[in-house]
Amino acid sequence: MELFTIASTVIALSALFGYVNVKLLKLPNTIGLMVIAIVFTLVLFASSMFTDVFLASAERLIGAIDFESVLLDVMLGFLLFAGAMHTNFDQLRIQRWPVLVFSTLGVLASTFIVAVSVNFVFGWMGLEVPMIHCLLFGALISPTDPIAVLGILKKAGVPKALETKIVGESLFNDGVGVVVFLTIMSIAGGGMTDHGNGHAAASENVIAVTDTTAPAEMGAETHDPDAEAEMTVGSVVQLFVQEVLGGILLGLALGYIVFLLLRSIDDYEIEVMITLACVMGGYSLAHALHLSAPLAIVVAGLIVGNDTVRGTMMSKQTEQYVDKFWELMDMLMNAILFVLIGLELLILEVRTEYILASLAAIVIVLVSRFLSLIPPVWFFAKRLKFAPHTSTIMAWGGLRGGISIALALSLPVEMNRGLLVTVTYAVVVFSIIVQGLTVGMLANKLIGREAEESAKASV
């Protein structure tokens, strides 16, 4: 199937589903598009009782789309830049330490808790999943998805300071989660993964496996577990320094270059093109330098979107056009992404035991996130005057999305791919639809109740 035909079909479906949502369902666009896409997919399955033509065509379409590559290597940069541009920089600066802890130690703690819990529960259900594969699932499902969070929370009515924590965490824990995922993937494969730029390596799924079976007479090297462990630790440290810190430094450089260019001219058409070049060129440059492209784009977007900085480099007209352009880009990319997530239902391996495992995983992931948030929230609560019930609201507002599905799809078949893709999809769908639709109401109810109780106590 030709690329233009695939793109045309997906965009046409996105526009159609968007129209139906605005006209009938009136849900937030991201949620509505995914719901309609899932319903559309179920209708296709039902149509197979009469004819296989429609289902077969849809399966060919989805089969021709490399979801993880499309999301991680093409769409992610645009979505992250648009989201970072419209993040409250001043609030993020105030909340920088909790955001840092949530996006690093919080992800690691959640990964371990999810893995141990899933290993026990799945084993009890008769699904034998090795601990290392459970750790892979924990790593891919623990980071909150910036795309889902940005697309839903900004309309959910969550208090701004709390929204900044959730959004800021989601912008940065993506890169940390992928580093953890790739590290565990390399251990599961027996050697170090060719990490490349982080996300691209996940989609390529390149694993260098140490050959321990070659006969000595053929000149094979003796397998040395200690040497392999040393290589692994050294490679992990190098990966973190090169990708994470290198990506941040590249983002700072990109943001500063864009600042200088925009400040030196006053032509809104060219200035919009410069911001577009920053995303596309910066993402490609990060790939070439083997740095974290998502982190580079997030940092550049935060600089360009900073109210203080943009006031000195853009005219009011330019600012208006830049904002409108990236709002439209954000809407278009989100529409395509959430339609694709809905259509990915076509590739799931559905079994009764997988459905039960998915229901268990939804509970495990929520509880694990809540437990991983308790220590940092307790530590920072009084210092930064956290809103009441921050742990509960952040746990429920920690949405998962396409990035988790993309990482699950990058797993080899022998790493329980069928089970983990199905379970990941269930967690993501529950997260976006159920949590996404109710997080605002939950926040208002808990915070409102706390305020009412405080008022009664003061009387």
Q: How do residues 62-97 score in pLDDT, each as one tens digit?
A: 989 999 889 888 898 998 898 888 787 777 888 888
Q: What's the rounded Cα separation, in Å, for the pair 213 and 343?
A: 42
At 207, is the secondary structure helix, strand, or coil?
strand
For residue 382, the model assigns a pLDDT of: 74
Look at residue 58 and tell me if it is in a domain.
no
Please indicate whether residue 195 or residue 384 has the higher confidence score (pLDDT): 384
Q: Which two tokens stand for residue 97?
A: 């330490």
For residue 164, the model assigns a pLDDT of: 81
Q: Which helix (H) or strand (E) holds 334?
A: helix 316-343
Residue 24 DSSP one-character state: I
For residue 304, the model assigns a pLDDT of: 92
Confidence of residue 56 (pLDDT cuts 50, 70, 90): very high
Look at residue 436 and tell me if it is in a domain.
yes
For residue 239, the model assigns a pLDDT of: 67
- Cα-based angle 412, 244, 159 (whole degrees, multiple of 5): 95
Q: Which helix (H) or strand (E) holds 29?
A: helix 29-47
pLDDT at residue 215 above 60? no
Look at residue 57 and tell me if it is in a domain.
no
Q: What's the rounded Cα separation, in Å, for the pair 100 and 80?
A: 17
* 300: CATH: 1.20.1530.20
For residue 39, the model assigns a pLDDT of: 95
Confidence of residue 454 (pLDDT cuts 50, 70, 90): low
The rounded Cα 440 to chain-centroid distance in angstroms is 20
Average pLDDT over the chain, rounded to an integer:
84
Residue 432 DSSP one-character state: I
Look at residue 363 and tell me if it is in a domain.
yes
For residue 234, the model assigns a pLDDT of: 67
Which of the residue ranges 95-104, 157-166, 290-299, 428-437 would you say has the lowest mean pLDDT?
157-166
Confidence of residue 235 (pLDDT cuts 50, 70, 90): low
Alpha helices in 385-435, H assignment, sequence order: 390-397, 402-409, 417-430
For residue 423, the model assigns a pLDDT of: 97
Look at residue 46 and tell me if it is in a domain.
no
- 206 sits in the region (left: phi over 0; alpha: psi -120 to 50; else beta) called beta
Average pLDDT (263-287) is 95
The pLDDT > 70 percentage for the chain reads 85
Look at residue 333 and tell me if it is in a domain.
yes
Q: What is the number of structural domains in the chain?
A: 1
pLDDT at residue 155 above 60? yes
Domain containing residue 250: 68-209+225-458
Average pLDDT (426-452) is 83
- In the numeric block, the tokens 């993880």 are attached to 68
pTM, two decimal places: 0.84
Q: What's the rounded Cα separation, in Å, for the pair 327 and 134?
A: 38
pLDDT digits (tens, 9 = 90+) for 26-39: 988 889 999 999 99
Look at residue 41 and tell me if it is in a domain.
no
Q: Which helix (H) or strand (E) holds 59?
A: helix 53-64
Look at residue 299 and tell me if it is in a domain.
yes
Average pLDDT (339-349) is 92
